[in-house]
Amino acid sequence: MKTKLLASTVTAIGLTLGMTHAIAAPISADIISIVDESGSMGGEHAWLGSVMTSLEAGLAAKNVGTGPQANRYGLTGFGGSSTHFAPHKHAVGGGDFGTAAQFGTAAGTLVTNGGTEDGWAGIDYALNNYTYNVGAAKNLILVTDEDRDNTNAALTYAGMESAINTAGGILNAVVNATFRCGNGSSALGLAGGGVGYVADGSGGFTTCSGATAISGFGSTIADYVDLAIATGGAAWDLNFLRAGGNLATSFTAAFVDIKVQEIITTPEPATLALLGLGLAGIGASRRRKAA
């Protein structure tokens, strides 16, 4: 009896996982960039305005956002002066979300006049002040060259990690930090498991193993790099972007490619629900057999 029960349990799990695999890719993505508006960020603002077009092309090639529900791009600013100090929305196409092309225009409304930046406050704002599409992957991109200035003591690392994971989101951090591969070579960025991304000298990139964050501005690693990795995202060294030339081209190529891979492997809410139903069915079957 136990052998039959084990076999039926394994079969049911296999069927459930097979079904979830078939529907794993999201139908679209909601992508919000959370951007530092301090005085040193002009180059990153210009880069964001163009990189979303490349990201949209990459997602379309994977059939994400090509159906009735399109990909949407939002923009949250923080850390500027006056009305741009607290986290706030920048309209994209006249609303909270717009197309990649409309995002490019919206990026031009970012300012560069602040000096106190709380990225956690920006992330918290983006999670709680936008209405996300059902079935869309939720992807957050934090862009800042400073560590966190604490303007809200109620926000904690554990709370931020829980909030992102509970929302089904993934965070990427484009920050002022240095990464190294296990072989000592410089990395453009890194993801979980020590996977690093390395410029190939021709505007492309390769991967390496054993990558770690070895230094960062102030508490950047503890504030942002660790948080991005903990939510299934990646962290990126914006100094490669600032270097220009092939290094900046490699940075953008790696960033777009990895973002696409993140998004297409983000399970839909229906996937997790279906898995739960499958496991619940297994439990019911076991109770009936036990009776």
pLDDT tens for the chain, residues 1 to 291: 444 444 444 344 444 444 434 445 789 999 999 999 999 999 999 999 999 999 999 999 999 999 999 999 999 999 999 989 999 999 999 999 999 999 999 999 999 999 899 999 999 999 999 999 999 999 999 999 999 999 999 999 999 999 999 999 999 999 999 999 999 999 999 999 999 999 999 999 999 999 999 999 999 999 999 999 999 999 999 999 999 999 999 999 999 999 999 999 976 554 444 444 444 444 444 444 445
* Residue 39 CB-density burial (10 A; 0-12 exposed, 13-18 middle, 19+ buried): middle
DSSP-assigned states of every residue in 101-145 = HHHHHHGGG----B----HHHHHHHHHHSS-PPTTEEEEEEEE-S
E-state strands within the chain: 28-36, 72-78, 88-90, 136-143, 169-175, 177-180, 186-187, 189-191, 196-199, 205-208, 212-216, 234-237
Cα(first)–Cα(last) distance of the chain, in Å? 12
Q: Which residue has the tokens 């996982």?
A: 17
DSSP-assigned states of every residue in 61-111 = HTTSS-SSS--EEEEEEES-SGGGSS-EEE-BTTBS-B-HHHHHHHGGG--
pLDDT of residue 45: 97
What is the rounded CA–CA span in Å between residue 95 and residue 85? Answer: 20
Which CATH superfamily includes the segment(s) 29-177+217-276?
A: von Willebrand factor, type A domain (3.40.50.410)
pLDDT of residue 280: 44
Residues 6+ away with beta carbon under 8 Å from 291 = none
Tell which residue, 77, 62, 38, has the closest CA to residue 265: 62
* Residue 216 CA to its chain's centroid (Å): 20
Are 7 and 254 in contact, with CB atoms under 8 Å apart? no
